[in-house]
A and B are shown apart, each in its own frame.
Chain A
Amino acid sequence: MTVTPARGRGELEREVLAAVAAAAGPVSANDVLSQLGGGLAYTTVMTTLARLESKGVLSRRLSGRAYVYALAGDPSELESSLAAHRMRRALESRPDRASVLARFVADLSPEDEQVLLSLLDRGQSSRRGGSGEGE
């Protein structure tokens, strides 16, 4: 695996938040560390999780001897979820080619789906033998 370049503090906090949000249940610092890897120190992940908790983005509780973290889901978070939903609806209400939203990926046609599946397949077979990704 290639050595991933060092991350800035903002970048790290975003990645840790994304890792916690992606997990099915509450996760420990060790879980996050094993996911992110890339030469991160355990203490770095710990500190980042604690910082996110103190900002109110994550909630934590003791599980055995370690803290486990989950999305806080506090009222302000819920509010921003609703705001995001409303905003997306408002911005999408007119079929505007010049929308201000920069979407990561757009909707696909069935043909595109097939093409992408085959591209994904080819990519996967060529990278078999690399470090196993938790999928």
Chain B
Amino acid sequence: MSVVTVVPVLVSAVLGLAASRLVRVLPPATAVRMLTAASLTAALSTGFVLGIVALVAAAQAPFVASLGRWSAQRFAGGGTTSALVGLACGLAMLTLLAAGVRRALRCAADLVAAEAACRRLGPGTHGLVVVEDSHPDAYALPGLAGRVVVSTAMLRALAADERRVLLAHEQAHLRHHHHVYIQLAELAAAANPILRPVATAVRVGTERWADEDAAAQTGDRPLVARTLARASLAKHQSPRSRPEALRAALPSVESAVVTRTRALLAPAPRPRRILAGATAALMLCALGAAAVSAHDTEHRFEVAQKMFHHSRSAPARVAEGS
């Protein structure tokens, strides 16, 4: 097969390598949107191209060719693909497709469960549900309207202006539908495991986005940093925190809270056209590769079909078919 077929895989690899850096450098809202779109494009075009390679390999089998009424020899003339490569690509595509479908189903189930949970929680006060609990906790629960759930212990751990930051942050998750980006990036990562780091970066990026939103709303970046630090320390010092579980999951990696706090103590990220443009270009590369290989393959089928009919009308040349 041509070089074009490896482009989507290369694009995925580059995205995987660059994702965490892009989230750090670009304004988080831009980074999350671009990375989500790019990872979906990369995942789709990878699957598509794998499918085409498998198809092309299958089309060269004389049996398949006779069924489809095209010339296997003429088809192979455009560059042979070994049956083994074709089989491997086909299997890979089917496995990834299955993983993607499984992930999509689970995502749908999770969102239904979250919506049901929202209903059970009741409307709250403009979406805010305060829960009597001695463990400091706060989270946004996605749904048609969504809810912000905060425990009394978390509220007590914070000063009034810090509580405002917390509410602004969680509200930002709901307002910007952050769960949609997270789930789409997870879907892409399921369908193309090379994109796993992108999904992680998107998740961190949505937290950064909500932090920056809260900072814009309160006009005080150090205040948001302080709130993050105070809230996570309060949670950490609660007897119900589970640092062991965390260490098992993320050995020796600085947790996202520390990264977020540092980012807030630094100046707000500037928009960077070149970097954003490069990400968009990567996305276009993957799309272009898929389009080119689709076009090439279509062309080969056309030629092979013409050849088939031609050989039929001139029976003397029916040398193929064995």
Contact = CB atoms under 8 A, between A and B. Distances in A.
A119 B131 contact: no
A107 B92 CA distance: 37
B228 interface: yes
B163 A18 contact: yes
A40 to B, nearest CB: 11
Interface in A50-82: 52, 55, 57, 71, 73, 76-81
B163 A4 contact: no
B125 A102 contact: no
Given A120-B226, A134-B159, A104 B170 contact: yes
Interface centre among B128, B199, B249 (most CB of A within 10 A): B128
Contacts of B170: 102, 104
Contacts, number: 217
Interface in A115-135: 115-117, 119-120, 122-124, 126-127, 133-135
Given A17-B125, A57-B125, A108-B243, A98 B182 contact: yes
Interface centre among A13, A21, A101, A104 (most CB of B within 10 A): A104
Contacts of A126: 222
Contacts of B236: 107-108, 113
A43 interface: no
Contact of B138 (A52, A99, A103, A107): A103
* Range for the number of chain A residues in contact with chain B: 35 or more
A14 B159 contact: no
Interface stretch (B18-26, B110-118, B273-281): B110-118
A36 B164 CA distance: 9
Contacts of B210: 102
A41 interface: no
A17 B128 contact: yes
Given A95-B245, A108-B246, A119-B229, 14 more contacts: A15-B167, A18-B166, A76-B122, A87-B120, A98-B103, A100-B179, A102-B139, A102-B142, A102-B173, A104-B166, A104-B169, A116-B233, A117-B229, A133-B161
Q: Which 10 A-B pairs have the closest CB atoms?
A: A10-B126, A105-B232, A22-B155, A83-B120, A104-B138, A87-B117, A35-B160, A98-B186, A108-B236, A102-B140
Interface of B: 103, 106-107, 110-111, 113-114, 117, 120-122, 124-133, 137-142, 148-150, 152, 154-156, 158-161, 163-164, 166-167, 169-171, 173, 178-179, 182-183, 186, 199-200, 206-207, 210, 217-220, 222, 225-226, 228-233, 235-236, 241-243, 245-247, 249, 254-258, 261-262, 265
